[in-house]
Structure 1
Amino acid sequence: MTMEAGGVSTICFPIFSIIVFVFIAFSKAQTVPAIYIFGDSLLDVGNNNYLSDSFSKADFPPNGIDFPTKNATGRFCNGKNAADFLAEKVSLPTSPPYLSLVSKSNKLNGSLEAGVSFASGGAGIFNGTDEEHRQSLPFAKQVNHYSQVCAELQHQIGAQAAQADLAKSLHVVLIGSNDIIDYVDSSSTQKQYTPDQYVKLMLSTLEQHLERIHSLGARKFAILGAPPVGCFPARRDIKTGECNELGNSISSMYSDGLKSMMQQLKPALGVNYSFFETYDIFLNMIQSPSSYGFNETKAACCFVGNVNAKVPCLPVSRYCSNRTDHMFWDIFHPTEATNKILVEHLFEGSTYSFPMNVKKLVSL
């Protein structure tokens, strides 16, 4: 072995170089060129800020109190949501809201190569789900906007490069909670459909949209099931604090059906996917809060009146100081602490992911 002054072997440098090379190669294997986000307020990073008539907004404090800028950004949260944490996992900036990229002349501005978010507070699989909130981007409209982004991306970098990027990019879908809440709250819808019929209609409608996203170039999907909406603070029984059984039953039924649907779509479309059992991990957090560092899983952190009030987070709301102890920020949405835990399991875990976690998916 050749030695230099000080007794240092010259072989150390090649080995060090190899280690650096392997580290860089491994890091690149874990990333994707872009993330495209579809969904509702659980993933919205500000699209509804641009909907002037929408009642479903979070562009006011105390929302954003724990965000890096300390400002309300349109996220229905005290800080970062799942879209932010997922972007961090693959070393990308958070995908910007689609509506922030659209000019008054309805043209897309700026680079689209790192992805776009179409998620919108109040959105559902069905176009009519957002009627209560006056205005959102229902899933069909989100897919239409994705089509426009794909066309513009081809214009910016060329058709071949665009198709290659889209095929490697991660397409995240988390939607259905608002449709389930709409069913639970609507006696007329319950008379029209049994829970089983309603869930089947949700799934068949969603399948059509996923097939269109695939036809536009998507090949990697992170599909998240619905959380147990019956355990949202807004849906718990006022007297007993117990979860709403109908809401949870439909959430579970939809999530199971979605998992089965993705198993069938994989060979039919030739896609790779990760399905996340959002329902199961939420229930586990609620039933074993101390395992996740929570002390409070029933009440909202941002509240009006008493902490179990059925009122959304408002500019006049009070908010708890121990936000990392709370699972829910407001009556519908998780805290930053909850979002971080969800993404850790989504990306790295195995218990709630099928047939693989997102870390494995993005490396394919």
Structure 2
Amino acid sequence: MASNVLAASFLLIFLSFFISGFNLLEAQMVPAVFVFGDSLVDVGNNNYLKISLAKADFPHNGVDFPTKKPTGRFTNGKNAADFVAEKVGLPTSPPYLSLLSKSNKSNASFLTGVSFASGGAGIFDGTDERYRQSLTLTKQVDYFSTVCEDLKQQLGSSGAQNLLSKSLFAIVIGSNDIFGYFGSSDLRSKSTPQQYVDSMALALKQQLKRIHSCGARKFVVAGVGAIGCCPSERYKNKTEECNEETNHWSVKYNAALASMLRELKSELKNIHYSYFDTYAVLLNFIQKPTAYGFTEVKAACCGLGNLKAKVPCLPIATYCSNRRDHVFWDLYHPTEAANRIIADNIFDGPSHYTFPLNVRQLIAV
């Protein structure tokens, strides 16, 4: 009798593991997510760059992260990369440099994706000069090429191609290039704003082609947000209004980006993409805050001085208790609350925010 009960108990345990395992597999919508970009999606790469000024590995960053500790994310909790990973049933893609730093690095670390995103990075190699050090997009794609070779060695060419063709490749970059242009008399003397944003789109196209040549087929590309409305830009205006010139050229770049993606699709028939209109979503937060649960759209949550934008979110700064009410965490970056809504729209957004497909539809292709 006792043995029958014991056998039944083991059977129940086995079935529960089987069912939970089945659900986990069912919940995983893609094999891997590979992330390229800047501080909006950096999950800790810059922690490993010794002389970089663009770091978030100190309080009060991470105050709402599950560990309650700073991780290198430029926000109070999770960023958009974290939320997208959750939606596809995967852990957040780890920072590439954290894997390099481990003496017992295993190629298996790359099987569910990796993040190359780096605070201060731009499409152009010289964008990070004021931050001294970041992983430029060129360097990020160089690293990805190395990962490709690792995957081929581990899975074989066809196995690696199968994984990469079904994975998501997220690219969130461009804001630092636009800030860099308007902050540099040298850049402004070499090209008009229109020439500059057109060259940004062209340079990004070349990097997307490099990623594609390794086996990537599904791209999630975010446009630049309404960066003229960041606390850092409002702080420069006595009226605390958005910097309309910066916003204007963000819109112009996004138009060039959308056009470039259409061209790329016509040139490379086997790619699919989802373009996310970050600008429109962020502007909606600012113009209709109550619809999204926000009450503060101008000031940063963490910092010091007017709009908490005179001093960045350093350990000497103060931070707000009502973080869910704020669009911006610091001078430039969204709060976790804003990041969550951004990720919701990237994944399931309507066609006027994500086109020609949202990410859920992109996965199904």
Q: TM-score, normalised by structure 1?
A: 0.90
Q: Retained in 1: the 8 A contact 2:40–2:74? A: yes
Aligned position for 2:331 = 331
Distance 1:354 1:233 in 2: 29
Give the one of 220, 229, 232 matched to 1:231: 229
Aligned position for 2:342 = 342
* Superposition map of 1:212-231 within 5 A: 212-231=210-229
1:258 aligns with 2:257: yes
Match of 1:197, SS? helix
1:63 aligns with 2:64: no
Aligned position for 2:314 = 314
* Superposition map of 1:217-296 within 5 A: 217-236=215-234, 237-270=236-269, 271-296=271-296
Measure how far apart 1:309 and its partner are.
2.6
Q: Retained in 2: the 8 A contact 1:61–1:315? A: yes
Measure how far apart 1:137 and its partner are.
0.2
Distance 1:26 1:286 in 2: 39
Match of 1:111, SS? helix
Q: Retained in 1: the 8 A contact 2:107–2:151? A: no
Structure 2, gaps ≥5 residues long: 1-18
1:362 aligns with 2:360: no
Distance 1:56 1:113 in 2: 28
Distance 1:241 1:108, change over 3 A: farther
Q: Retained in 2: the 8 A contact 1:101–1:109? A: no
Q: Retained in 1: the 8 A contact 2:80–2:343? A: yes
Distance 2:353 2:79 in 1: 19
Measure how far apart 1:238 and its partner are.
3.4
Match of 2:232, SS? helix
Distance 1:311 1:165 in 2: 45
Measure how far apart 1:290 and its partner are.
0.6
Measure how far apart 1:108 and its partner are.
6.3
Give the one of 23, 30, 45 matched to 1:32: 30
Which amino acid is 2:185 matched to? S
Measure how far apart 1:301 and its partner are.
0.3
Q: Retained in 1: the 8 A contact 2:38–2:172? A: yes
Q: Retained in 1: the 8 A contact 2:77–2:335? A: yes
Which amino acid is 2:212 matched to? H
Aligned position for 1:142 = 140
Distance 1:206 1:106 in 2: 34
Distance 1:26 1:114, change over 3 A: closer
Which amino acid is 1:167 matched to? S
Distance 1:106 1:24, change over 3 A: closer
Measure how far apart 1:201 and its partner are.
1.0
Which amino acid is 2:346 matched to? L
Measure how far apart 1:306 and its partner are.
3.7
Which amino acid is 2:180 matched to? D
Which amino acid is 1:54 matched to? S
Q: Retained in 2: the 8 A contact 1:102–1:108? A: no
1:164 aligns with 2:162: yes
Measure how far apart 1:91 and its partner are.
0.4
Match of 2:298, SS? strand
Please, what is the CA RMSD of the aligned residues? 1.9
Measure how far apart 1:188 and its partner are.
2.2
Aligned position for 2:10 = none
Measure how far apart 1:24 and its partner are.
6.5
Structure 1, gaps ≥5 residues long: 1-19
1:353 aligns with 2:351: no
Measure how far apart 1:104 and its partner are.
7.2
Which amino acid is 1:301 matched to? C
Q: Retained in 2: the 8 A contact 1:59–1:74? A: yes
Give identity over the alignment, percent.
58
1:72 aligns with 2:73: no
Q: Retained in 2: the 8 A contact 1:294–1:326? A: yes
Distance 1:132 1:69 in 2: 31
Which amino acid is 1:333 matched to? H
* Superposition map of 1:186-201 within 5 A: 186-201=184-199
Number of matched pairs: 342
Aligned position for 1:11 = none
Q: Retained in 2: the 8 A contact 1:301–1:319? A: yes
Give the one of 46, 50, 62 matched to 2:44: 46
Distance 2:226 2:121 in 1: 17
Q: Retained in 2: the 8 A contact 1:227–1:279? A: yes
Distance 2:255 2:40 in 1: 20
Distance 2:40 2:48 in 1: 17
Which amino acid is 1:357 matched to? N
Q: TM-score, normalised by structure 2?
A: 0.90
Q: Retained in 1: the 8 A contact 2:99–2:109? A: no
Match of 1:158, SS? helix
Which amino acid is 2:355 matched to? F
